[in-house]
């Protein structure tokens, strides 16, 4: 059996957003829909405060809660371990969005898909995208490991993770080679070796979802008890006010 | 176009790093879910209480009309509100057999199936109850026997309809505050307490002597519910840091007014004080006071669901936030 998986080397990731851009181009993503995300974490080592980056995307869990909760079976698991969504079945209840412990699903609403230039006619790129990769408003979407590329590549006899035409767009485009793709069930695959040699870890293993996205090489992933600044303070009341405002203005402004 | 709008997908997200509130089921269109769940609690609670009152001949008319109102709340308010929330409402049929077998794993799909079956069985039961209510001879005939059967069947599916929402929410490991088996019980018992309050209103109109019985049952239910909510909050407080944060948000945070004013004072203390007052005076509360108690109780039902949905906070994503 094959189970596609990804290993993300956090030490190599340099926050260039190339993976995010590649995914956007590959899937013609609507303006405010982002399948892979780069999230920033502040770490306080006592003498310096550092901002680190975590690339996150759908974990393609082996025991995926989103598949279990889907009332129409629009979310389903393929034999190769990829969790996919049949947009023609999804009726937009957003139960999967809430049930996903990794919050990696996005509901495509009118607000999230206003067009790239709201108020102006659609560009040729947008029109082309609608034909090639239609996104249905009122349904839920997420990363699917570029399963179209994998399927097309396998049909040509290519090997995902090795041959570019059968490998997810984000992995191909990562100039720092922080992303590695391959078969988790093959003990000799590049991903299995990396996980074994560098003690790969997954996000929230205690949920028992058995994710297919592993992380290696970073202080937050090890056991040195580095925690986000807020967690280290011990006071949780202090960020009650920020619970409803998850995006800090200063981070956004930095890129303006 | 705003530069930030154009570039926002390139911004590194400080997202799921700290606890983040769920918004899908409580903000914007998500308010429809809240309203649907409130009507679900009120409707199923009223119907269940009507079934119990329907066992006695002297309450037959009240039981009939209470059952009708309960059914209407589910069929006319809850279901359409849920449908209105969906992104693609016309695909609604894809969630139940034979179009899908999702009911095997999904509480949402189960809930839809339970609701449909409940509505169908309740129609038959209400027809039989109507015959009994307006034809005294029917009570001691085969009609009552048939009514018993449908009371049990519809009652079972009514309980299922009442609790499925709690199970659907408690399944979400991502929201530790909901992730407890107590939630369905809280929703069920609060719904029954709401039903007891509402049936007093029906009793005021029909003139049957349901109020003393309903009041004494309300006293017990309110005490049980107060203890249950307390147990729920204490349990959440020790469950995880994120759940603790939810509790704090509910009790001393942004939503403290919903909890203290809506749930505690209007939802529990005021109705309890009115029913205890009539217990000690030995006289039934006046119609005005009863209506006030019913209104307070209903506000409590709206507040409970609002509070629970609003303080649903996701556990942060990163490994070292396991402290949460």
Q: By CB neighbour count within 10 A (0-12 exposed, 13-18 middle, 19+ buried), where does B148 fall?
A: middle
Give A229 or A211, the one with higher predicted confidence.
A211
pTM: 0.87
Tell me how far apart the alpha carbons of residues A254 and B261 are, in angstroms, rounded to a whole number.
Answer: 42
Q: Given this model, what pLDDT does residue A234 score?
A: 33
pLDDT in the model for residue B284: 77
Q: What is chain A's mean pLDDT, rounded?
A: 84
CA-wise closest residue to B41 among B291, B316, B308: B308
A32 is in which domain, residue-wise?
Answer: 4-254
What residue spans define the domains of chain B?
15-318
| Torsion of Cα atoms, A205 then B178 then A76 then A140, to 10° | -110
CA distance B249 to chain A (A): 7
Check B312 against A98: CB less than 8 A apart. yes
Whether chain B has a CB inside 8 Å of the CB on A65: the answer is yes
Inter-residue long-range contacts of B199-203, CB under 8 Å, 24+ positions, other chains counted? B199/B46, B199/B49, B199/B50, B199/B53, B199/B62, B199/B66, B200/B290, B200/B293, B200/B294, B201/B290, B201/B291, B201/B294, B202/B62, B202/B65, B202/B66, B202/B69, B203/B62
Closest CA to B166 of B114, B117, B118: B114
DSSP class of residue A204? -
Q: Do B86 and A138 touch (CB under 8 A)?
A: yes
Grade residue A206 by pLDDT with cuts at 50, 70 and 90: confident
If you average pLDDT over every residue of chain B, what do you get? 90
Residue-level pLDDT at A223: 39
The pLDDT tens digits for A63-90 are 999 999 999 999 999 999 999 999 999 9
Whether the pLDDT of residue A236 is over 60: the answer is no
pLDDT above 50 for A231: no
pLDDT value at position B4? 43
Pair A88, A72: CB distance under 8 Å? no
**How confident is the model at residue A14, as a pLDDT?**
84
**Domain containing A26 — which CATH number?**
3.30.70.20
Q: Is A20 on the interface with B (CB under 8 A)?
A: yes
Tell me the DSSP string of B209-260.
TTHHHHHHHHHHHHHHHHHHHHHHHHHHHHH-HHHHHHHHHHHTSTTHHIII
In tens, the pLDDT along A159-170 reads 999 999 999 999
Nearest CB among B174, B249, B316 relative to A100 is that of B174
- A187 burial via Cβ count (<10 Å: 0-12, 13-18, 19+): exposed
Domains: count for chain A: 1
What is the model's pLDDT at position A110?
85
Q: From A21, which residue of chain B is nearest by alpha-carbon distance?
A: B10
pLDDT reported for residue A256: 45
CB contact under 8 A, A244 and B21: yes
What's the mean pLDDT in A194-214?
A: 91
Q: What is the mean pLDDT of residues A83-110?
A: 94
Homologous superfamily of the B15-318 domain (CATH): Formate dehydrogenase/DMSO reductase domain (1.20.1630.10)
Question: pLDDT tens across B37-85, in order?
Answer: 999 999 999 999 999 999 988 899 999 999 999 999 999 999 999 999 9
- Above 90 in pLDDT, residue A49? no
Note which residues in 191-250 of chain A have CB less than 8 A from chain B.
201, 203-204, 206-207, 220-221, 225-228, 230-231, 236-237, 239-240, 242-244, 246-248
pLDDT level of residue A220 (50, 70, 90 thresholds): low
* % of chain A residues with pLDDT over 90: 57
Buried b (16+ CB within 10 A) or exposed e, A144-163: bbbbebbeebeeeebebbee
A 149-178 residues with CB below 8 A of B? none
The alpha-carbon gap from A188 to the nearest alpha carbon of chain B, in Å, equals 27
Chain B: give the shortest CA distance to residue A155, in Å.
Answer: 30
Q: How far apart are CA B96 and CA B71, in angstroms?
A: 20
B244: left (phi over 0), alpha (psi -120 to 50) or beta: alpha
| Among the ranges given (A109-123, A216-230, B149-163), the one the predictor scored with the smallest mean pLDDT | A216-230
Taking the C-alpha atoms of residue B62 and residue B205, their distance in angstroms, rounded to an integer, is: 9
Residues of A with Cβ-Cβ distance to B11 under 8 angstroms: 251-252, 255
Question: How far B20 CA sits from the closest chain A CA (Å)?
Answer: 5
Give A248's pLDDT tier (boundaries 50, 70, 90).
very low
Residue numbers of chain B with a pLDDT score lower than 50: 1-10, 321-324
d(CA A47, CA B176) in angstroms, rounded, equals 33
Hey, of A40, A42, A44, A71, which one would you mutate to test binding to chain B, going by the most B CBs within 10 A of its CB? A71
């Amino acid at each position: 059996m094959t189970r596609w998986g990804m290993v993300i080397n956090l030490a190599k990731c340099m926050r260039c957003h190339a993976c995010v851009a590649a995914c956007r181009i590959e899937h013609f993503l609507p303006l405010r829909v982002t399948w892979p995300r780069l999230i920033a974490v502040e770490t306080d080592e006592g003498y310096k405060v550092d901002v680190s980056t975590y690339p996150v995307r759908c974990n393609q869990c082996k025991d995926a809660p989103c598949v279990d909760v889907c009332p129409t079976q629009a979310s389903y698991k393929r034999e190769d371990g990829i969790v996919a969504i049949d947009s023609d079945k999804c009726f937009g209840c957003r139960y999967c969005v809430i049930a996903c412990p990794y919050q990696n699903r996005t509901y495509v609403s009118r607000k999230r898909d206003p067009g790239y230039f709201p108020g102006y006619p659609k560009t040729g790129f947008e029109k082309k995208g609608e034909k090639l990769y239609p996104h249905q408003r009122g349904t839920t979407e997420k990363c699917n490991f570029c399963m179209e590329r994998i399927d097309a590549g396998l049909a040509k006899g290519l090997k995902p993770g090795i041959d570019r035409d059968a490998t997810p767009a984000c992995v191909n485009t990562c100039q720092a080679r922080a992303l590695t793709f391959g078969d988790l069930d093959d003990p000799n695959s590049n991903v299995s070796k990396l996980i074994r040699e560098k003690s790969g870890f997954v996000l929230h293993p205690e949920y028992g979802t058995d994710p297919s996205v592993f992380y290696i090489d970073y202080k937050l992933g090890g056991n040195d008890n580095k925690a986000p600044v807020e967690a280290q303070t011990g006071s949780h009341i202090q960020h009650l006010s920020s619970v409803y405002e998850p995006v800090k203005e200063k981070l956004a402004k930095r890129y303006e | 176009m705003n530069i930030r709008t154009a570039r926002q997908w390139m911004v590194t997200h400080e997202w799921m790093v700290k606890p983040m509130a769920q918004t899908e089921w409580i903000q914007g269109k998500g308010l429809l879910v809240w309203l649907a769940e409130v009507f679900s609690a009120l409707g199923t609670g009223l119907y269940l209480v009507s079934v119990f009152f329907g066992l006695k001949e002297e309450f037959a008319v009240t039981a009939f009309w209470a059952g009708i109102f309960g059914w209407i709340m589910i069929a006319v308010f809850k279901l359409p509100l849920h449908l209105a929330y969906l992104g693609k409402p016309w695909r609604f049929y894809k969630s139940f057999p034979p179009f899908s077998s999702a009911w095997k794993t999904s509480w949402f799909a189960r809930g839809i199936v339970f609701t449909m079956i409940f509505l169908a069985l309740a129609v038959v039961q209400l027809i039989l109850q109507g015959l009994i209510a307006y034809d005294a001879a029917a009570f001691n005939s085969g009609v009552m026997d048939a009514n018993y059967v449908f009371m049990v069947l519809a009652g079972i599916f009514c309980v299922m309809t009442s609790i499925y929402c709690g199970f659907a929410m408690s399944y979400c490991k991502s929201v530790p505050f909901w992730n407890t088996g107590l939630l369905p019980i809280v929703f069920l018992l609060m719904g029954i307490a709401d039903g007891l309050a509402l049936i007093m209103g029906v009793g005021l109109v029909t003139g049957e002597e349901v109020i003393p019985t309903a009041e004494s049952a309300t006293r017990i239910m309110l005490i049980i519910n107060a203890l249950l909510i307390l147990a729920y909050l204490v349990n959440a407080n020790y469950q995880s840091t994120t759940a603790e944060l939810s509790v704090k948000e509910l009790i001393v945070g942004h939503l403290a007014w919903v909890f203290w004013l809506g749930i505690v004072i209007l939802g529990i203390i005021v109705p309890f004080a009115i029913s205890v007052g009539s217990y000690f005076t030995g006289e039934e509360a006046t119609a005005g006071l009863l209506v006030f108690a019913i209104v307070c109780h209903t506000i409590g039902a709206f507040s409970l669901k609002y509070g629970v949905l609003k303080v649903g906070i996701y556990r942060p994503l990163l490994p070292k936030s396991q402290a949460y």
